[in-house]
């Protein structure tokens, strides 16, 4: 697969061995630094305690410092655990974000590969004739400029008086690469009228479709008489018309080509034009932005018709292609995963301010949170991410209920989880993210206000 689809640039991915080794080295350095800091602070307090023996005033100061140090040591394990979970959760989520980004880009590439490739394009025929045109140029004779008049042959083109084109498209799959291909039956009739004031010699030029892999039964007739190609690669057929005389050409062939069929009028004005394309497959759509005059379901597919009685200028080509299911909402889950450590910190702070939390409670809560995110990541590959979260978050609420030692504490945990985890995650996967996150923040502070200021007592 293309290297550009391997992940989000610059984001750590623990599935890469070099990054995993680097992460382990950084954790070891930070751990050693923290241990040295705690030990050094303890030694400093012990030295102060020894130096102030016999002095009451200094003794009270050291005792106060020792008390604060002991309280810090009690809080330090919680701080270290939360920090470890936060850092570990970041690397886990960044790895999942990289993997999900990789999967999304691979899915887009697979969808694009189904309809990618050359197109089967048929250009409108040209009615060419040659006229002699007088022109002048300068020549130098004996150092003097002299104007010379001469003639040259110039190509001119006659507009087609009427076009009636019928195309039938069938879709097949190339077994070598599983890409779609079109099998087209083309039949067209063109009317040519000599609108010049005198008899003229013309060339009916009709080139085979561009991008075909197989072309068969290619025939051109004029007024019921088949025209034979004389020189290979030369698709110009001469004919003559008197002034005002009309003639008809009929063309038909079968071709195979890319998963898109196009008829190009050459950006010219057309009149009495009728193009009908019957696409015998599902999800057929018109291309190039030219809306069909009529569109109706027929057989197993759709018939598109473009009909113009009067002169109309057509800049874009007419066309039909096979539409695919759109890949929407890409990048939603990677964004959620990158912000998930912040949501975890938000939620765990609400829990600390709502109910008593032991180290084991914090570790279990973190495991539940990140396990739910892991489940959401992979469930969203099978279904819509919002539906996946609707299935996952009741499990989260059911599991964290056990943090409460009684009914009141359980309700406090549920409110904290809804405000600190459920709504923030939902806010990052729905369209109205700002509104949902604002609601979550308001619910969080409202709950804390009720909990600490208005007498909500949690039985411990």
Q: How confident is the model at residue 305 (pLDDT cuts 50, 70, 90)?
A: very high
Backbone dihedral angles phi then psi of residue 188, each to the nearest 5 degrees: -145, 150
Domains, the chain, ordered by start: 1-115 (no CATH), 120-322 (2.60.40), 328-460 (no CATH)
Among residues 306, 234, 312, the alpha carbon closest in space to that of 271 is found at: 312
Helix (H, G, I), strand (E, B) or coil at 391: helix
Identify the burial level of 439 via C-beta atoms within 10 angstroms of its C-beta, where 0-12 means exposed, 13-18 middle and 19 or more buried.
middle
The whole-number pLDDT of residue 6 equals 45
Backbone dihedral angles phi then psi of residue 9, each to the nearest 5 degrees: -60, 135
Q: How confident is the model at residue 111 (pLDDT cuts 50, 70, 90)?
A: low
All residues at 6 or more sequence positions from 160 whose CB lies less than 8 Å from its CB, including other chains: 124, 125, 127, 190, 191, 192, 270
d(CA 222, CA 189): 10
Report CA Rg, the chain.
39
Spatial strand order in the sheet of 236-241: 144-158, 126-141, 200-205, 236-241
Q: What is the mean pLDDT of the chain?
A: 80
d(CA 267, CA 314): 5
**To which residue do tokens 């080139």 refer?**
207
Helix (H, G, I), strand (E, B) or coil at 276: strand
Query: 150 and 260 in contact (C-beta within 8 Å)?
Result: no
Q: Is residue 110's pLDDT more than 80?
A: no
The residue among 110 and 354 whose pLDDT is bigger is 354
Query: 429 and 373 in contact (C-beta within 8 Å)?
Result: no
- Per-residue pLDDT tens over the stretch 384-439: 888 999 999 999 999 988 887 778 888 888 999 999 999 999 988 887 788 888 88
Cα dihedral 290/296/302/307 (nearest 10): -40
d(CA 287, CA 258): 14
Look at the pTM and tell me if it is higher than 0.75: no
The whole-number pLDDT of residue 213 equals 87
The residue among 455 and 62 whose pLDDT is bigger is 455
The whole-number pLDDT of residue 326 equals 62
Q: How confident is the model at residue 63 (pLDDT cuts 50, 70, 90)?
A: low
Our CA angle for 29, 32, 37, nearest 5°, is: 125
The whole-number pLDDT of residue 71 equals 62
Mean pLDDT lowest for which of 44-48, 50-54, 230-234, 417-421?
50-54
The whole-number pLDDT of residue 9 equals 52
Backbone dihedral angles phi then psi of residue 430, each to the nearest 5 degrees: -105, 170
Identify the burial level of 298 via C-beta atoms within 10 angstroms of its C-beta, where 0-12 means exposed, 13-18 middle and 19 or more buried.
exposed
In 67-94, which positions are buried (b, 16+ CB within 10 angstroms) versus exposed (e)? eebeeeeeeeeeeebbeebeebbbbbbb
The share of the chain scoring above pLDDT 90, in percent, equals: 24
d(CA 383, CA 329): 13
The whole-number pLDDT of residue 21 equals 57
Query: 125 and 237 in contact (C-beta within 8 Å)?
Result: no
Q: How confident is the model at residue 193 (pLDDT cuts 50, 70, 90)?
A: very high
Query: 424 and 327 in contact (C-beta within 8 Å)?
Result: no
Query: 312 and 269 in contact (C-beta within 8 Å)?
Result: yes
Query: 97 and 11 in contact (C-beta within 8 Å)?
Result: yes
Mean pLDDT lowest for which of 50-59, 119-128, 389-398, 413-422?
50-59
All residues at 6 or more sequence positions from 136 whose CB lies less than 8 Å from its CB, including other chains: 147, 148, 149, 150
Our CA angle for 448, 90, 328, nearest 5°, is: 95
All residues at 6 or more sequence positions from 161 whose CB lies less than 8 Å from its CB, including other chains: 191, 192, 193, 246, 271, 272
Q: Is residue 65's pLDDT more than 50?
A: yes
Mean pLDDT for 154-174 is: 89
Query: 189 and 248 in contact (C-beta within 8 Å)?
Result: yes
Where does 1-125 show beta strands of DSSP type E?
Answer: 120-123
- Per-residue pLDDT tens over the stretch 338-375: 888 999 999 999 998 888 888 888 899 999 999 999 99
- Per-residue pLDDT tens over the stretch 314-344: 777 888 887 766 666 677 888 888 888 999 9
Q: Is residue 3's pLDDT more than 50?
A: no
**Structure-token pair, residue 193:** 């009228």
Chain centre distance of CA 12: 23
Tally of residues, the chain: 460
- Per-residue pLDDT tens over the stretch 440-456: 889 888 888 888 887 66
Half-sphere exposure of 297 (CA within 13 A, CB side): 3
């Amino acid at each position: 697969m293309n290297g550009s689809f391997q992940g989000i640039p610059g984001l750590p991915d623990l599935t890469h061995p070099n990054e995993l080794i680097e992460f382990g080295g950084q954790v070891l350095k930070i751990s050693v630094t923290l241990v040295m800091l705690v030990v050094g602070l303890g030694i400093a307090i012990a030295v102060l305690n020894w130096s102030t023996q016999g002095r009451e005033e200094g003794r009270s100061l050291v005792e106060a410092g020792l008390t604060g140090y002991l309280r810090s040591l009690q809080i330090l394990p919680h701080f270290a655990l939360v920090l470890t979970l936060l850092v570990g959760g970041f690397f886990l989520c960044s790895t999942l974000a990289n993997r999900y980004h990789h999967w999304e880009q691979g899915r887009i590439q697979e969808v694009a590969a189904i309809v990618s490739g050359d197109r089967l394009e048929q250009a409108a025929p040209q009615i060419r004739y040659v006229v002699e045109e007088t022109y002048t140029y300068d020549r130098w004779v004996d150092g003097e400029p002299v104007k010379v008049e001469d003639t040259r042959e110039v190509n001119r083109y006659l507009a087609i008086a009427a076009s009636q084109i019928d195309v039938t498209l069938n879709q097949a799959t190339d077994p070598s690469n599983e890409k779609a291909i079109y099998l087209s039956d083309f039949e067209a009739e063109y009317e040519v009228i000599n609108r010049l004031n005198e008899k003229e010699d013309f060339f009916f030029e009709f080139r085979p479709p561009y991008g075909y892999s197989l072309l068969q039964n290619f025939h051109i007739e004029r007024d019921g008489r088949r025209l034979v190609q004389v020189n290979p690669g030369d698709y110009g057929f001469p004919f003559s018309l008197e002034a005002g005389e009309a003639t008809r050409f009929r063309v038909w062939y079968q071709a195979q080509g890319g998963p898109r069929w196009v008829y190009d009028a050459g950006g010219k004005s057309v009149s009495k034009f009728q193009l009908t394309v019957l696409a015998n497959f599902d999800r057929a759509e018109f291309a190039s932005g030219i809306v069909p005059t009529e569109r109706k379901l027929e057989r197993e597919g759709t018939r598109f018709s473009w009909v113009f009685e009067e002169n109309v200028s057509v800049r874009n080509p007419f066309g039909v292609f096979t539409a695919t299911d759109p890949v929407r909402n890409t990048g939603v889950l990677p964004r959620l995963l990158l912000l998930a450590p912040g949501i975890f910190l938000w939620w765990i702070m609400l829990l600390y301010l709502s109910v008593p939390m032991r180290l084991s409670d914090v570790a279990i809560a973190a495991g539940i949170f990140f396990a739910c995110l892991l489940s959401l990541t992979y469930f969203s590959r099978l279904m819509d991410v919002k539906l996946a979260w609707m299935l996952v978050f009741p499990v989260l609420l059911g599991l964290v209920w056990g943090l409460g030692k009684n009914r009141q504490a359980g309700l406090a945990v549920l409110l904290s989880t809804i405000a600190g985890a459920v709504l923030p995650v939902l806010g990052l996967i729905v369209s109205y993210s700002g509104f949902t996150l604002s609601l979550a923040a308001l619910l969080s502070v409202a709950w804390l206000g009720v909990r600490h200021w208005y007498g909500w007592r949690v039985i411990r």
